[in-house]
Amino acid sequence: MFKKTSLILLFSAGLFNIHAQQTIPFRITKHNNIIVKTLVNKKDTLDLMFQIAMEDASISPERQRKADHIIFNKEKISENNTVQIGKLTLNNVRFSDNQLAGHEADGKIGTVLFGGKAFKIDYDHNQFIIYDKTPDVKDFQPINTMYDHEAFYIVADNVIDGDKQQEAYFVLQSGYSGGLLYSNDFAAEKELDKKLKITGEKTLKNSSGKSIITKQAVLPFLKVGNSVLKDVSAGFFIGDLKKQTVNYFGADLLRRFNWVFDADRKTAYIKPSKYFSEPYYKVN
């Protein structure tokens, strides 16, 4: 009996090691931003916005809470910080100073949360799950990802004019509350100002008098893998200032799927979440 019990215990321990995981709870703001409650250097309690397009962390000049125990050098960098989130402790976290974050956030934190492991963004249950190896993804669809300069890129098909699909790369951008935000080049090449239904616009000028017009529009269809989203909120810029160099896949679209990312960052697995058919976020 003792030998049999020992074997069962050993077998159970082996299964646990294979599927070992850690869970990080989060909350979602009305602006679609993910907020993680953290304790930094055992002193500063901070609400940090998860930014999938960065690796390290940063502090916002508009923070509501004190960050007195994060010591920055002349280059506004702070090394070797500890970040505690529930039972999880991250060591040697780098913070940058004076980077704007989303609503309700004291700063940002990126994929350092996951330590180079496979991870899941579970919008259905408001949690991240970190895995020692890729979990069971039989109900998910794999899509290729490209990881470059701290950002994940995916390919999606845009139906702009009739039934013609325009393939484009998008950066996953959880810091942008809206849906799609197109690059200046894509907007100009595809004549989005003429071909999409415009729902609003705003003109801004800088100190030199140069203007930029932000336009909100509706994309008839967006295909991500085998999933099709209809009447997607999309923005783009026209005018003298052309600073939007990449296409964004924003937080309003990210939340419409649950995501699993491989440790090698070459594949993501997606499945529609409970938000898939929710009304689209209105960008001001």
105 and 221: one domain?
A: no
180 and 65: one domain?
A: no
Give pLDDT, residue 207: 61
154 and 80: one domain?
A: no
Give pLDDT, residue 189: 93
153 and 125: one domain?
A: no
Confidence at 59, pLDDT banded by 50, 70, 90: very high
Report the candidate in 154, 182, 160, 150 with the shortest Cα–Cα distance to residue 246.
Answer: 182
CA angle 201, 221, 139 (to 5 degrees): 130
107 and 47: one domain?
A: yes
114 and 217: one domain?
A: no
Instruction: With respect to residue 55, please indicate whether it lies within any of the assigned structural domains.
Output: yes
Q: Which of the listed residues 131, 149, 181 is the one where a domain comes to its end?
A: 131
Mean of pLDDT values over 45-64: 97
Instruction: With respect to residue 6, please indicate whether it lies within any of the assigned structural domains.
Output: no
Give pLDDT, residue 2: 40
> Which domain does 42 fall in, by range?
16-131
104 and 184: one domain?
A: no
Calculate the CA dihedral of residues 20, 95, 52, 251 and round it to 10 degrees: 120
203 and 83: one domain?
A: no
Instruction: With respect to residue 283, please indicate whether it lies within any of the assigned structural domains.
Output: no
Q: Report the CATH number at residue 169.
A: 2.40.70.10
CA angle 113, 227, 252 (to 5 degrees): 50
Q: Which of the listed residues 131, 158, 192 is the one where a domain comes to its end?
A: 131
Instruction: With respect to residue 97, please indicate whether it lies within any of the assigned structural domains.
Output: yes
Q: Write out pLDDT tens, residues 140-194.
A: 999 999 999 999 999 999 999 877 889 999 999 999 999 999 999 999 999 999 9
Instruction: With respect to residue 265, please indicate whether it lies within any of the assigned structural domains.
Output: yes
Give pLDDT, residue 15: 39
**269-277 contacts: CB < 8 A, separation 24 or more?**
269/137, 269/140, 269/141, 269/142, 269/143, 270/140, 270/141, 270/143, 270/224, 270/225, 270/227, 271/139, 271/140, 271/141, 272/227, 273/123, 273/124, 274/123, 274/124, 275/123, 276/227, 276/229
Mean of pLDDT values over 250-277: 97
Instruction: With respect to residue 70, please indicate whether it lies within any of the assigned structural domains.
Output: yes
186 and 94: one domain?
A: no
123 and 175: one domain?
A: no
Q: Write out pLDDT tens, residues 66-112.
A: 999 999 999 999 999 999 998 899 999 999 999 999 899 999 999 99
106 and 197: one domain?
A: no
159 and 244: one domain?
A: yes
Split into its structural domains, the chain has a count of 2
Instruction: With respect to residue 11, please indicate whether it lies within any of the assigned structural domains.
Output: no
Whether the predicted pLDDT of 5 surpasses 50: no
What percent of the chain lies above the pLDDT cut of 90? 80
Give pLDDT, residue 7: 44
